[in-house]
Chains A and B, each alone.
Chain A
């Protein structure tokens, strides 16, 4: 066997299966950026596992030439927990959607994130149920008219990043399917992070919810409606980069630069802040409330990882009691002998 790792290309990560998403679906771009990004990690394909639940996004593992499990609805984070607990050497990706991850699988997502296993969770948010043909999802806005809500949705929507932060996530980021450079960079950051990386990707379902994220994509409006987060930099946005976010007490507000307001008055992004309050505040900035929606890395901190801790306990037990000896175990406690 050669000792030098072969240099892999994006195409090496594609499986021989035909991709079956609808033409024009945002999932294609996420798949492409993943394949483009992975070679840069230098991890051999056999050391990578993709795990998904059910839904359009969950077909993802079939298209990757890695190990993969297309599991059951909402449960991918739980499978990943078991897998990573016994095989910390593997790079594990969980692919989920807004229905899979936040509705039927909400409990598993919450607990995977709080355990902070060294896994990467990518949530494709298209704000609709695609595979079941167009019912509203937990991220659909109030009033959304769909097949199952002909008079409009009356459930308050969930915000994936707010939930992840509430679950003590150590890495939280957002990107957009069509921002291919940004998406690739974000996936790379997620892959590099040690601990659970949670990434929300705004993904267009051109069949059942076309244009849901158009305000973040349209050439004319995207600079006004999104704000790119950079660690240590002030929050500036706008076509002319003339607007910013300032803190007014505990509330963010949009301000125009100039007229006595300088960059120094703005909120500076700190993805390493030990308290998650800032990241949470950013996750609450919604387009409908007149804010640009942040993209990039909201939070990236170092915290103990479940898989590490579990294996440390095993090592500690071995160091203390020695490698398990069955005969010693069987004869422990009170015994008696019959001759």
Chain B
């Protein structure tokens, strides 16, 4: 048995050069589409394309096979230009069954390549997807370039003789589909061959079957007359350096590990499994050799409370969840706030309300994290804008938390958590240090004041084990300076003001807001979080069309950057596109009395560039 990882040679057919392409692999959730998509992403990244990905999977782990509810997709956009989104619409769609065809066809461009596994279009399969007539036989697919490929038959043929059962053989179909796509877009198969070796090396027959299926897919493209030409997408001009393909949740986890190193203290992650945040736990639990301690608590409330305990004890304490979990953590987050201890709370947003759309993206927890606690309970909130940005945001959250002695909320979302992009690997030695100070034992006769404050209004982080600093904290109102319980009316007002002012002071410690585009003009597009890519691309397009439009994207959502109000005033109109019903817009209107216009959608899907361009054009008029 060969274990070669040497890839296929270049195609001998005619090659057409493209600027970029958007491809979606869609199939049943058991068909291995996420794996296929990840491989295509990694390979495209390695040939030097800029990439952006968008996995889309059902909430059910295994919905009934072949049904619409069970369709799982993975979209990859690769380009020779700098790109910011996984693409609005598809140049090519691979549909492994009728259900995948039905649910994804609307996104395929007119004339786009439609590759289907024609073996999966039996009467039963068609019924499950709700087709009365086989769409491969009527003229409903006439507007596309249809390639009917008997993938099941060809895959079974390719793995024949390896002693695999039919079921096992069919599990290799995703590698066949990959091989075909690799041929179509001139991708090198060797990274995937290496992956097969490392992933299935322990099961040589499975490894060999996947290799054979991959190569069979590639050879099919090269030899069949159906495909007359293939495509080439040149490398993008990315800044020099070493890159890797990075997903948002992984970047968050690595950012936390890096921040712990930068501040030279141990990382504690207390959490409860929830989609789409669980991958942060999975990633962190693999890095115990960095001194990372993870606790999978009994529930969301406990998770937040373990974090408070660890923070009091002097750890870099972090929890991660999604909206429903954050709702449960609310009371404990209030305690964390009044204790004035540094920690990080991550909310990877998903579609709400209630259980909502667990595997889909939304930005509707902004108000929840800013206000969702009893009493006057301000917390700083920052949001990453892309998968790679999660790394920097994690570090920034910890910097703020320790400088201001406050919990900090990171507001990510399912779109960036599971999406990926090339990440320029930093040199760890050049990452800035985060200075963390714990006071030492007091001088003789000196009394420790746990709620005395520095110029930023931060109190000292005195940790157990330090002689002479014994003190008690709690959720009852504290007397300023001494930290003793106090029911004094003036003190409560004072402490409420102090806690609010402390969070406001963060605005003095973060960069001023920057604008892409003209300093003033007809329209400012104001966005935040995971919609960065779509908004950036849309505004750039509109600028090219000659429209007077600028873009500014917020990382700091509480407090806002100091110059934001002044920026808003320089434009005739402000447009706030959000994947919610207008939460940032409300805050902007309340804070700056600016009559901001909303563009809002909650469909579990990211913005398309096209719809934003239309909205910008309409708004400018």
Binding site for B on A (CB under 8 A): 15, 17, 44-51, 61-62, 64-72, 75, 78-87, 89-90, 107-108, 110-111, 310-311, 313-314, 316-318, 320-327, 329-331, 333-339
Question: Looking at chain B, what size class is its interface with the partner chain?
Answer: 35 or more
A70 touches B472 (CB 8 A): yes
Residues on A with C-beta less than 8 A from B540 are none
Residues on B with C-beta less than 8 A from A324 are 257, 261, 287, 289-292
Q: Which residue of chain A is the closest to B261 with respect to CB atoms? A: A326
A331 touches B425 (CB 8 A): yes
Q: Does B245 sit at the interface, judged by CB under 8 A?
A: yes
| Central interface residue in A78, A327, A329, by most chain B CB within 10 Å | A78
B474 touches A86 (CB 8 A): no
Q: Does B515 sit at the interface, judged by CB under 8 A?
A: no
B474 touches A83 (CB 8 A): no
Contact A71-B242, Cβ < 8 Å, known A62-B472, A86-B266: no
Per the bound structure, the CA–CA distance linking A222 and B575 in Å amounts to: 77
Give 1 or 0 for each of B276-319: 1 = CB within 8 Å of chain A CB. 00000000000111111101011101110111111111110100
B261 touches A83 (CB 8 A): no
Chain B interface SS verdict (over half)? mixed
Residues on B with C-beta less than 8 A from A110 are 298
B289 touches A85 (CB 8 A): no
Residues on B with C-beta less than 8 A from A336 are 45-48, 242-244
A327 touches B243 (CB 8 A): no
Q: Which residue of chain B is the closest to A322 with respect to CB atoms? A: B289
B465 touches A46 (CB 8 A): yes
- Quick one: which of B224-238 are within 8 Å of A by CB? 235, 238
Q: Which residue of chain A is the closest to B303 with respect to CB atoms? A: A78
A326 touches B289 (CB 8 A): no
Residues on A with C-beta less than 8 A from B295 are 81-82, 85, 310
Residues on B with C-beta less than 8 A from A83 are 309-310, 312-313, 464
Q: Does B455 sit at the interface, judged by CB under 8 A?
A: no
Q: Which residue of chain B is the closest to A332 with respect to CB atoms? A: B244
Give 1 or 0 for each of B192-211: 1 = CB within 8 Å of chain A CB. 00110000000000000000
Having A49-B313, A83-B309, A323-B289, one finds 4 other A-B pairs with CB under 8 Å, namely A64-B472, A108-B298, A326-B257, A337-B243
Residues on A with C-beta less than 8 A from B47 are 336
| Central interface residue in B244, B245, B287, by most chain A CB within 10 Å | B244
A49 touches B464 (CB 8 A): yes
| Partner of A69 from B292, B312, B314, B431 at Cβ < 8 Å | B312
Among all A-B residue pairs, the 4 with the closest Cβ atoms: A70-B474, A324-B290, A82-B306, A82-B309
Per the bound structure, the CA–CA distance linking A141 and B464 in Å amounts to: 40
Per the bound structure, the CA–CA distance linking A47 and B466 in Å amounts to: 8
B257 touches A45 (CB 8 A): no
Residues on A with C-beta less than 8 A from B239 are 338
Nearest chain A CB to B393's CB is how many angstroms away?
17
B293 touches A338 (CB 8 A): no
Q: Does B270 sit at the interface, judged by CB under 8 A?
A: yes
Per the bound structure, the CA–CA distance linking A321 and B290 in Å amounts to: 10
Contact A78-B48, Cβ < 8 Å, known A46-B468, A70-B474: no
A327 touches B429 (CB 8 A): yes
Residues on B with C-beta less than 8 A from A334 are 42, 45-46, 191, 194-195, 244-245
A338 touches B429 (CB 8 A): no
B307 touches A87 (CB 8 A): no
Give 1 or 0 for each of B445-487: 1 = CB within 8 Å of chain A CB. 0000000000000000000111111111111100000001100
Nearest chain B CB to A31's CB is how many angstroms away?
14
Q: Does B621 sit at the interface, judged by CB under 8 A?
A: no
Residues on A with C-beta less than 8 A from B268 are 82, 85-86
Per the bound structure, the CA–CA distance linking A111 and B426 in Å amounts to: 41
Binding site for A on B (CB under 8 A): 42, 45-48, 191, 194-195, 235, 238-245, 254, 257-258, 261, 266, 268, 270, 287-293, 295, 297-299, 301-303, 305-315, 317, 331-332, 335, 339, 425-429, 431, 464-476, 484-485
B307 touches A82 (CB 8 A): yes
Q: Show 23 A/B contacts (Cβ-Cβ < 8 Å), sorted by A.
A: A46-B467, A47-B465, A67-B472, A69-B312, A69-B472, A69-B474, A71-B335, A72-B331, A75-B301, A79-B305, A79-B309, A81-B295, A81-B309, A82-B268, A327-B429, A329-B287, A330-B426, A331-B242, A331-B244, A336-B45, A336-B48, A338-B240, A338-B241
Q: Which residue of chain B is the closest to A20 with respect to CB atoms? A: B485
| Central interface residue in A62, A321, A336, by most chain B CB within 10 Å | A336
B467 touches A44 (CB 8 A): yes
B245 touches A107 (CB 8 A): no
Per the bound structure, the CA–CA distance linking A331 and B273 in Å amounts to: 28
Residues on A with C-beta less than 8 A from B191 are 334
| Partner of A314 from B293, B306, B335, B476 at Cβ < 8 Å | B293
Residues on B with C-beta less than 8 A from A62 are 472, 474, 485
Residues on A with C-beta less than 8 A from B428 are 325-327, 330
Residues on B with C-beta less than 8 A from A61 are 472, 474
Residues on A with C-beta less than 8 A from B425 are 330-331, 335
Nearest chain B CB to A257's CB is how many angstroms away?
46
A90 touches B313 (CB 8 A): yes
Nearest chain A CB to B9's CB is how many angstroms away?
20
Q: Which residue of chain A is the closest to B298 with respect to CB atoms? A: A111
A78 touches B243 (CB 8 A): no
Per the bound structure, the CA–CA distance linking A140 and B42 in Å amounts to: 62
Nearest chain B CB to A12's CB is how many angstroms away?
11
Residues on B with C-beta less than 8 A from A86 are 266, 268, 293, 310, 313-315, 317
B257 touches A310 (CB 8 A): no
A321 touches B289 (CB 8 A): yes
Q: Which residue of chain A is the closest to B484 with respect to CB atoms? A: A17
Nearest chain B CB to A47's CB is how many angstroms away?
6
Q: Which residue of chain A is the closest to B464 with respect to CB atoms? A: A67
| Central interface residue in B243, B290, B335, B431, by most chain A CB within 10 Å | B290
Nearest chain A CB to B282's CB is how many angstroms away?
15
Per the bound structure, the CA–CA distance linking A313 and B293 in Å amounts to: 9
A82 touches B464 (CB 8 A): no
Residues on B with C-beta less than 8 A from A323 are 289-290
A329 touches B293 (CB 8 A): no
Per the bound structure, the CA–CA distance linking A82 and B303 in Å amounts to: 8
Per the bound structure, the CA–CA distance linking A86 and B474 in Å amounts to: 20
Residues on B with C-beta less than 8 A from A49 are 312-313, 464
Per the bound structure, the CA–CA distance linking A90 and B240 in Å amounts to: 49
Per the bound structure, the CA–CA distance linking A2 and B46 in Å amounts to: 62
Per the bound structure, the CA–CA distance linking A52 and B281 in Å amounts to: 28
Per the bound structure, the CA–CA distance linking A333 and B235 in Å amounts to: 20
Nearest chain B CB to A249's CB is how many angstroms away?
37
Nearest chain A CB to B447's CB is how many angstroms away?
10
Nearest chain A CB to B439's CB is how many angstroms away?
12
| Partner of B465 from A90, A326, A337 at Cβ < 8 Å | A90
Residues on B with C-beta less than 8 A from A82 are 268, 270, 295, 305-311, 313, 317
B429 touches A81 (CB 8 A): no
Q: Which residue of chain B is the closest to A73 with respect to CB atoms? A: B331
Per the bound structure, the CA–CA distance linking A75 and B240 in Å amounts to: 50
Per the bound structure, the CA–CA distance linking A68 and B301 in Å amounts to: 20
Q: Which residue of chain B is the closest to A326 with respect to CB atoms? A: B428
B306 touches A85 (CB 8 A): yes
Q: Which residue of chain A is the closest to B191 with respect to CB atoms? A: A334
Per the bound structure, the CA–CA distance linking A89 and B315 in Å amounts to: 14
Residues on A with C-beta less than 8 A from B257 are 324, 326, 329
Q: Which residue of chain A is the closest to B245 with respect to CB atoms? A: A334
A46 touches B305 (CB 8 A): no
Q: Which residue of chain B is the closest to A108 with respect to CB atoms? A: B302
Residues on B with C-beta less than 8 A from A322 are 289
| Partner of A45 from B299, B429, B470, B474 at Cβ < 8 Å | B470
Residues on A with C-beta less than 8 A from B288 are 313-314, 316-318
B332 touches A329 (CB 8 A): no
A79 touches B474 (CB 8 A): no
Nearest chain A CB to B588's CB is how many angstroms away?
33
Contact A310-B464, Cβ < 8 Å, known A71-B308, A336-B48: no
B301 touches A87 (CB 8 A): no
Residues on A with C-beta less than 8 A from B261 are 324, 326
